[in-house]
Chain A
Amino acid sequence: MKAVALDGIVLGLQFGLLGVGMTLIYGLGGVLNLAYGQAAVLAAMVVAITLTAGAPALVATAAGLLAAAAGGVVIDRTLMLPVYHQRGEHRVLLGLLLTLGVAFVIDGLLLWRYPTGALRLEIGGEAVPILGVRMRVGSLLASGISLVVGAILLLFFRATTMGRAARSVIQDEVGARLVGINPAAVRTFIFALSGALAGLVAVTRSMTSPVSVTAGFDFTILALIVAVVGGLGSVAGAFLAGVLLGIVSTVSAFYIGQYITTIVLLAATALTIVMRPRGLLGR
């Protein structure tokens, strides 16, 4: 049981980071980014290719994250422009359709070029005992990275001018403009950050299991679930929801079966939405 719970936390921390990238874009731009998982896969493929070319793992990872971040910026500055001119329902709908289109295009291109592409960052070494449970080094590294990046993110949004500016745009865009913040610049920055986060999760996932070229929509759906359960727009909420759902996911995989985890996850999400429509920490 302890081993299952620890595995759940390992998975959950990564779910959390994945959810943060999705929740931020929604909070800032009113867009549910359906191409989010493709950013993760794009990063994974860039890392895999640079690794094959002989680059060290850190350099390859940096290249992957940069590629995903750049993809985010390009989408924000081109396709999303008509979305930002819309308000309310039209904005959400147009955002969904355009990002879905982007997702199909990226998926199609990657599948065409790299039909069997996958990223495997097998991290070797002896299993390490943690709280009496033998944990794989890959799991520990993935968790460590997720924890550190999560802590940096929380600190960034609480205690830096840029982080506060981003939160202010989420809370009241007009108010942000009144104090001299350019919401468009903040949005572009957050799109880049979101892309990099998706890429990072792809990299940490690949430390324990391969990330294949077809994983895009799985990442997107997972990110959506985590963001909705945590409360759209809430960074801390996404982390909390990520960890909880990670535990739910491994527990149900262990005691019921792998085939049923998606159903259990979706049921947990549905239950949260019914009981707390704004999510765990939503405003």
Chain B
Amino acid sequence: MLEASGLSAGYLGENVVEGVNVQVAAGQAVAVIGSNGAGKTTLFRALCGMLPVSAGRVRFDGEDITGRPAHRVARAGLAYVPAERHLFPGMSVRENLLLGAYPGRPDPSAFELVLDLFPRLEERRKQPAGSLSGGEQQMLAVGRALMSRPRLLMLDEPTTGLAPKLARSAYEALQALKETGVTLLVAEQQVPLALSLADRGYVLETGRIRLEGASEDLERNPEVRRAYLGVA
């Protein structure tokens, strides 16, 4: 469904990620794991058109989307939820969700899916997004992205700023979402959580893919255990 080949991108002419190959098949959940500054956010921004690509190609659903502006990538069915969420703080929860369906009218089944997944949003629907707690804002960011019925949902560090218990329930929601058939690509520092959700994973280090494979293999890999799972 998503395929990046030889992808390089960065800021001010300096590549942060270099020659990255990533593949996500339909219906899969794929994790990109790595520490702070490994280039996960840069990679995601390049994939969804928020950041210009300096080399390589991105294909989505068989179509070349390299260099396409972000709003057109979003309309093509690739939704991106950044770690900073970028909600519309002065608008109500409901208005944020409505805009998620832009430019169309919101699909009632999409509303249902989002409110089933996050019943809290129903209670808060008239409140301004800026007044929500961190966990609720994360729910709203994912909910807004789902309103357009995307085929691929990319989440950058969905557990940012969440207490451990909330982080776990965020991943339970993602698991439920995966079971509805949405393809997921998740960047995460909390490696055990990410690998529990994902079918496959990539380990990103200083802008390059160090390792890739099925989640179980990565969990057993001594390097991954030492560097990311806190096992000596």
Contact = CB atoms under 8 A, between A and B. Distances in A.
A176 B102 CA distance: 9
Given A161-B102, A161-B103, A179-B99, A172 B71 contact: no
A164 B70 contact: no
B71 A182 contact: yes
Interface stretch (B87-95, B119-127, B184-192, B224-232): B87-95
The list of the 5 closest CB pairs from A to B, nearest first, reads A175-B86, A180-B74, A180-B75, A171-B88, A177-B70
Nearest to B75: A180
Interface residues of B, number: 28
B157 to A, nearest CB: 15
A100 B200 CA distance: 57
20 contacts: A161-B103, A168-B88, A168-B99, A171-B90, A172-B87, A174-B50, A174-B82, A175-B87, A176-B71, A178-B80, A178-B81, A178-B82, A179-B99, A179-B144, A179-B145, A179-B148, A181-B102, A182-B71, A182-B72, A183-B71
A175 B103 contact: no
Interface string B40-69: 000000000010000000000000000001
Interface string A150-186: 0000000000010011011001101111111111000
A283 to B, nearest CB: 6
* Interface size range of chain A in the complex: 10 to 19
B130 to A, nearest CB: 9
A164 B100 CA distance: 11
Interface string A174-207: 1111111111000000000000000000000000
B86 A165 contact: no
A177 B80 CA distance: 10
A233 to B, nearest CB: 9
Interface string B98-122: 1110110100000000000000000
Contacts of A283: 89-90
B204 interface: no
B98 A177 contact: no
B102 A172 contact: no
Contacts of B209: none
B79 interface: yes
Contacts of A182: 69, 71-72
Q: Is the interface of A mostly helix, strand, loop or mixed?
A: helix
Contact of A164 (B74, B85, B87, B95): B95
Contacts of A176: 71, 88, 99
A222 B194 CA distance: 56
Contacts of B91: 164, 167-168, 171
Interface in B144-175: 144-145, 148
Interface in A76-117: none
A164 B99 contact: yes
A169 to B, nearest CB: 9
Given A164-B99, A165-B102, A178 B79 contact: yes
Given A171-B89, A283-B90, A177 B99 contact: no
B74 A172 contact: no
A179 to B, nearest CB: 5
Contacts of B148: 179-180
Given A161-B102, A164-B99, A165-B99, A175 B88 contact: yes
B50 A180 contact: no
B141 to A, nearest CB: 9
Contact of B71 (A161, A167, A177): A177
Nearest to B86: A175
Contacts of B103: 161, 165, 180-181
A157 B92 CA distance: 14
B74 A179 contact: yes
Given A164-B98, A165-B99, A180 B71 contact: yes
